[in-house]
């Protein structure tokens, strides 16, 4: 995930324009920016630069399109990909087990699962999860993920606005930057914690598999 500086993000928000190209760019950027895309959109909507409903719609569809393509890749090329990238075999096996245990739940969390946003939708395809299930359920999951982080962005924008109203101009800007950095640090910490949990779960799966 690309992580711009807080100052760079604030400058980008100030220059953003409410037009179709902006929303298309946000939708496409979620592939690379992950959580920062909806957080950026939420802050921009709080500042009156963008419309929250359009931000959520664009990023929801962008993330959903990406996971749908990954699903298709897993459905058509799973075995080839495992041979081409041997290091992913164990993680791919764990992802397949997750999908087979509960296909609907796995389809819903493809955007939420840190460290599994590529393998899990591909595993859904490899496991032949029906399209009539995967497409609507993954769309609902993409919407829930986008709305969650967009609202975090809105909250960050509100906090910065309140601080700017109470402090002197220079002090207000510094405090707003600090608030944004706290949000980003919180997202980073949560993401690191989830990755550790995922690694522990994968290790447990491997141990259980060897015992079987």
| Dihedral sign (CA 122, 206, 106, 194) | negative
User: Whole-angstrom Cα distance, residue 154 to residue 13?
Assistant: 13
Mean pLDDT of 83-89: 72
Share of the chain above pLDDT 90, in %: 21
Mean per-residue pLDDT for 183-210?
65
pLDDT in tens, 128-153: 899 999 999 999 999 999 999 899 88
How open is the CA angle 188-99-69, to the nearest 5 degrees?
A: 70
Say what the pLDDT of residue 132 is. Answer: 92
Cβ proximity of 127 and 96 under 8 Å:
yes
Tokens of 105: 């739940």
The yes-or-no verdict on residue 31 having pLDDT over 70 is yes
Q: What's the mean pLDDT in 48-74?
A: 92
Mean pLDDT of 89-107: 83
What mean pLDDT comes out for the span 35-44?
Answer: 86
Label residue 44 by pLDDT band (50, 70, 90).
Answer: confident
Residue written as token pair 């959520």? 56
Considering only residues 68 and 75, tell me which one the structure prediction assigns the higher pLDDT: 68
φ and ψ at residue 18, rounded to 5 degrees: -80, 85
Of residues 202 and 124, more confidence is placed in 124
Per the CB < 8 A criterion, the answer to whether 164 and 172 are in contact is: yes
pLDDT over 90 (residue 55) = yes
pLDDT band at 176 (very low <50, low <70, confident <90, very high): low
> What is the token pair recorded at 129?
């999860």
Residue 24 CA, distance from chain mean position: 16
Burial 130-165 (b: 16+ CB within 10 A, else e): eeeebbebbbebbbebbbebbebbbbbbebbeebee
DSSP state of 96: H
* 96: pLDDT strictly greater than 50: yes
Residue 209 has a pLDDT of 63
CB 49 within 8 A of CB 9: no
When comparing pLDDT for 56 and 47, which is higher?
Answer: 56
How would you classify residue 78: left for phi > 0, otherwise alpha for psi between -120 and 50, otherwise beta?
Answer: alpha
Residue 45 CA to residue 157 CA, distance in Å, equals 8
Q: Which residue do the tokens 């299930």 mark?
A: 133
pLDDT for 108 beyond 50: yes
């Amino acid at each position: 995930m690309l992580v711009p500086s807080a100052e760079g993000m604030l400058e980008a928000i100030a220059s953003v324009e409410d037009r179709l190209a902006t929303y298309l760019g946000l939708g496409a950027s979620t592939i690379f920016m992950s959580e920062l895309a909806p957080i950026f959109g939420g802050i921009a909507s709080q500042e009156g630069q963008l419309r929250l409903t359009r931000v959520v719609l664009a990023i929801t569809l962008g993330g959903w399109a990406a996971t749908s393509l990954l699903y298709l890749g897993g459905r058509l090329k799973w075995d080839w990909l495992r041979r081409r990238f041997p290091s992913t075999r164990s993680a791919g096996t764990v992802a397949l087990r997750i999908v087979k245990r509960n296909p609907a739940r796995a389809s819903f969390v493809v955007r939420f699962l840190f460290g599994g946003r590529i393998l899990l939708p591909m595993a859904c395809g490899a496991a032949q999860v029906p399209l009539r299930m995967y497409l609507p359920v993954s769309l609902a999951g993409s919407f829930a993920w986008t709305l969650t982080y967009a609202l975090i962005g809105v909250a960050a924008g509100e906090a910065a606005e309140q601080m700017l109203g109470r402090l002197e101009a220079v002090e207000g800007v510094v405090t707003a930057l600090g608030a944004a950095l706290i949000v980003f640090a919180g997202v980073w910490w949560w993401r690191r914690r989830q990755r550790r949990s995922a690694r522990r779960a994968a290790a447990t799966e491997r141990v259980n598999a060897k015992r079987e």
